Amino acid sequence: MARRPRHPSRSIIECKRMKFRKFILTIISVVICIVLYFGLTNPNYSTNIVQNMPSLLTDPFLQLPTANSVNVVWFTEFPGENHWVLYGQKLENKVTANTTQLTRVREDSESKLEPKYEQLTQRDIWRHEATVTGLNYPQRISYQVVSLQEGETVSSQQFTLTGKPQPGTPLKILLTSDHQLMPMTAANLQKVAETIDRVDAVFLAGDLVNIPDRASEWFDDSRGGAFFPSLQGKAHYQLEKDGVTTTYKGGEIIQYAPLFPAIGNHEVMGRYSTEKPLGRQYNDAVPRNKSLIENTSDLTTIKNNSYNSDTYEEIFSLPGSESEEKPYYAVTFGDIRLVSLYITNIWRTPELNRRNLPARYAESPTDFNHPERWGYGQHIFEPIAKGRKQYQWLESELQSDEFQQAKYKIVMFHHPPHTLGGNIVPPYTSPQQTIQRDSNNEIQAITYEYPKENDYIIRDLIPLLETAEVQFVYYGHSHLWNRFQSDSGMHFLESSNVGNSYGAHTSDNPRTVPPNSPDNVAVGNPNGLEPIMPNIDPLQDETGQPLSYIASNDITVFSVLDTEQGIVSSYRFDTRQPDSEVIKFDEFRLGR
């Protein structure tokens, strides 16, 4: 009788099957972990792993606080079926958001995104804004935003908010500017969050991004340092210094603290095009009366052929009258009356060799016979000269009860009245054009002069602020730290060495200015005041001498106003030493 072949028992077979299933599950788990790791550390990767599921483009941020309310704003790349804010100690309250679509944001071949855009492309982004009411400062309550798209809900983490503080409340205000996705910005904002227990508001003196209509610079630039991620602790910027790479995430700031910006030159787009790269459109701004558009009162047509700040104004809710939209405003916040002005002009290259680009002091010879290419020098966007609309508005504001009764009177704008930086020349006035022709009436040169005696900031604005007893003028634009004080005691601070610097113009580093041009000062502060030496721990030069400024591409700076004592403190952090301490190097008390 033949022997039956021996077979493993069922228990042995089942055991092997179980081991195989565990092996497969382990492989799947490892793959998921890898996907999660690389996805969640990629700033462009949605927190929803399944492709095409809805996700928020930003965390929420806060706007327009009142005594009992604040507006919550966030963005998505889908219109959604509904959007709302849950709030309360147990998120028991709900308010529906209003949704609008950004009208001008686009991407182009210069956008830093993956996959890359091959051509100029409209990008669909929606803004959601809801007003949370029933607030009572200083009580903070939890809130969370929720968006619904095709039956799927996506929500933010929980944060806290409160109403506008009343006078007498001690506050800490972050003073910052000129982020522009520059290398040190994420590190700077991360150190703010690590150093200051809680920031109560952010005053941002312009130049938030580089190209305002390029959506990725606001939301998801692949380098990891876009505007909103950096101010919301969601950045992923890898900063390499001396062979060491450190990843900075920015700081969770504007989810908890309202943001008050001033408009800078990088918030203004030039002539609109459906074909030209966004950078060219940005540089193509021309004065409204030189736009070559005649017999039209249509504002959109005028903007498209001169300049506009539409994206900036669509992204932020600026305080002021809803019936008269304007990018300058005044607001009371605790003991502060903040006046934010629109003082900026187009940036033109100071180079004197007249490249094939509009320049500060001359038009390019290749454009002499093409007026449509002229840049008209470093022209001003919104006049601040005496008698003009913004000046008249400011006069009225400075006489208001809200301003007069405020303990701290602060004015913020972008262009510097006093600085060692390069962007203070030429003087802040309308360019005066001169066209030189030969005997055949052919153009030989088109040049621009800026008479120093007509500087609108120094001639018209500063005397008005002095008379109104403004204690503090805060500004940016030149990417460095320095401060000044007038004879009357008014303080001036430029704390814009945030993401990078272009240097201070001392004797060994003169500005590029035309020869024999007394109106354009090559060294120092053209407007007379001497920079004040930091009074705690100034940096030193190579010879050990203290420096009255910080202009560094390795050391980043931020400043904080503490209203309890009325003290403005400035801090520095050396990004070459990621484990080093943040150092307070200067402070001054507001007063006159």
Give per-residue pLDDT as tens, 427-481. 999 999 999 999 999 999 999 999 999 999 999 999 999 999 999 999 999 999 9
- Tokens found for residue 75: 């963005």
Specify which residues 330 forms β-bridges with. Answer: 339
d(CA 69, CA 201): 15
pLDDT given for residue 358 in this prediction: 85
Report cis status (omega within 30 of 0) of the bond before 115: yes
Model confidence at 592: pLDDT above 80: no
Model confidence at 42: pLDDT above 50: no
Q: Phi and psi (nearest 5°) for 95?
A: -135, 135
pLDDT given for residue 23 in this prediction: 58
Picking from 188, 187, 158, 162, the residue whose alpha carbon sits closest to that of residue 174 is 188
- The 3-class secondary structure across 443-504, one letter per residue, is EEEEEEECCHHHCHHHHHHHHHHHHCCCCEEEECCCCCEEEEECCCCCEEEEECCCCCCCCC
Specify which residues 435 forms β-bridges with. Answer: 446
d(CA 345, CA 380): 4
d(CA 500, CA 569): 20
Give per-residue pLDDT as tens, 117-175. 999 999 999 999 999 999 999 999 999 999 999 999 999 999 999 999 999 999 999 99
pLDDT given for residue 296 in this prediction: 84
With a CB cutoff of 8 Å and minimum separation 6, the contacts of 393 are: 326, 328
Give per-residue pLDDT as tens, 518-539. 999 999 999 999 999 999 999 9
Coil, helix or strand at residue 24: helix
Give per-residue pLDDT as tens, 357-372. 789 999 999 999 999 9
Host H or E run for residue 392: helix 389-398
d(CA 189, CA 174): 10
Using only C-alpha atoms, the chain has a radius of gyration, in whole angstroms, of: 27
With a CB cutoff of 8 Å and minimum separation 6, the contacts of 305 are: 271, 272, 286, 291, 292, 293
Report the mean per-residue pLDDT for the chain. Answer: 92
With a CB cutoff of 8 Å and minimum separation 6, the contacts of 496 are: 177, 178, 205, 207, 475, 476, 477, 478, 479, 480, 481
d(CA 205, CA 228): 16
User: Is the four-CA dihedral 120, 111, 264, 160 of positive or negative sign?
Assistant: positive
Over range 221-234, report the average pLDDT.
Answer: 98
* pTM, 2 dp: 0.91
Model confidence at 508: pLDDT above 60: yes
Distances (CA, A) of 318 to 130, 256, 558: 15, 18, 24
d(CA 250, CA 256): 14
pLDDT given for residue 325 in this prediction: 61
Q: Phi and psi (nearest 5°) for 337?
A: -110, 110
Distances (CA, A) of 80 to 101, 102, 149, 207: 11, 14, 4, 31
d(CA 88, CA 366): 63
Q: Ramachandran region of residue 472, left (φ > 0), alpha (ψ -120 to 50) or beta? A: beta
Strands (E), 363-430: 408-412
Model confidence at 9: pLDDT above 60: no
d(CA 182, CA 227): 10
pLDDT given for residue 354 in this prediction: 64
Give the max Cα distance, the chain.
126
Q: Phi and psi (nearest 5°) for 145?
A: -100, 150
Residue at 508: amino acid letter: D
pLDDT given for residue 27 in this prediction: 59
pLDDT given for residue 274 in this prediction: 95
pLDDT given for residue 70 in this prediction: 98
Picking from 100, 148, 314, the residue whose alpha carbon sits closest to that of residue 215 is 314
DSSP line for 525-589: -TTSPPPPPPSS---B-TTS-B-S-B--SSEEEEEEEETTTTEEEEEEEETTSTTSPPEEEEEEE
With a CB cutoff of 8 Å and minimum separation 6, the contacts of 2 are: none
